[in-house]
Amino acid sequence: MRIEVLVDVKTTLGEGPVWDVEQQRLYWIDSADGRILRCTDDGRELRAWDVGQKIGSMALRKDGRTAIVALQNGVHTLDLNSGDLTLVIDPEPHLPNNRLNDGKVDRQGRFIFGSMDTLEDNASAKLYRLDADLGLHTLDEGIIVSNGPCWSPSGETLYFCDTWSGEIWAYDYDSTSGSVSNRRTFAKVDTSSGGAADGCTVDAEGCLWQALVYAGQLVRYTPDGHVDRIIQMPVKKVTSLTFGGPNLDTLFVTSMAKPPLPRFPGDGQQRGALFAISGLGVQGIAERRFAS
């Protein structure tokens, strides 16, 4: 196994990596600075888009020329050529302390995303589903910080976590309707080192990988929820991860250069970098584009 800095961009709050198999490009975001970034699997051809406000997550649309983006004040479409933003819907205009956060596309092309309380102490957030017809539906609520939506290889189980709950949850996921049911605890998160549940992805073997932010660890869980492997990263504030590269066998890991609140710890010189881990002997699952 080899861990290397792929791009040393010092993202204030790096998040949401997405590998697009058609373009063979990695997209990720700087949530705090309101940027989308893109590069090749070896860190070349770096490009950035400024969206003008905090961003929680993004996904390419099926045309590859536009993206769906979860911004501080609602879901927008982004024209990647012009940089123009168009509001789709703002689900929480009545909650000024909330903003939209982590999101990902399901196997059918629906965008699943959540919101968060920016002070990280009030359970005012929700988990949403945006369909291809741009209709919005609430899947769950009573959440503080939405993070880590991803699916089992079959697409029939949705994994999700409220960062400060100390748990990763699993839901039965109806692939036809996009509805969820039977929420249960998939795994307890070890927070003894000061870490908390952040971004997740699932590999081709059905194991869930999670970034344990503030602890500097990547944790792999088996499909039955047991810890299978722990990777210690060179920085504490790892935030999210995804598999990519030509063979989907490189694990890309985002990190933050500056914690969002004073109570969170600082970090070393490599803080905010984008990391690439090779030699894991594991492949990921190709991410889908938003079906609109």
Which domain covers residue 80, as residue numbers?
2-278
b/e per residue 262-283 (b: at least 16 CB within 10 A): eebeebeeebbbbbbbeebebe
274 falls within a domain: yes
Residue 261: pLDDT over 80: no
Q: Alpha-carbon distance 56 to 95, whole Å?
A: 16
pLDDT at residue 258, as a whole number? 87
Residue 150 CB neighbour total at 10 angstroms:
22
**Residues in the chain, how many?**
292
Q: How many CA atoms lie within 13 A of 138 on its CB side?
A: 10
Residue 164: pLDDT over 90: no
110 falls within a domain: yes
206 falls within a domain: yes
Q: Please write the tens of the pLDDT for every residue from 229-246.
A: 999 999 999 999 999 999
Handedness of CA 122, 57, 160, 172 (dihedral sign): positive
Q: Please write the tens of the pLDDT for every residue from 180-216.
A: 999 999 999 988 888 999 999 999 999 999 999 999 9
pLDDT at residue 18, as a whole number? 98
284 falls within a domain: no
Q: Please write the tens of the pLDDT for every residue from 140-150.
A: 999 999 999 99
Q: Alpha-carbon distance 194 to 230, whole Å?
A: 15
Q: Please write the tens of the pLDDT for every residue from 39-98.
A: 999 999 999 999 999 999 999 999 999 999 999 999 999 999 999 999 999 999 999 999
92 falls within a domain: yes
Q: Alpha-carbon distance 289 to 127, whole Å?
A: 19
Task: Report the number of distinct structural domains present in the chain.
Answer: 1
Q: What share of the chain is helix, strand, coil (3-state, %, to 5)?
A: 0, 55, 45
Residue 179: pLDDT over 80: yes
255 falls within a domain: yes
Q: Please write the tens of the pLDDT for every residue from 116-138.
A: 999 999 999 999 999 999 999 99
Is residue 144 within 8 A of residue 99, CB to CB? The reply is no
> Which single residue is written with the structure tokens 């990720």?
28
CATH number of the domain that residue 174 is part of: 2.120.10.30
pTM higher than 0.85: yes
Selected residue with higher pLDDT from 229 and 264:
229
Give the percent of the chain with pLDDT over 70.
100
Residue 247: pLDDT over 80: yes
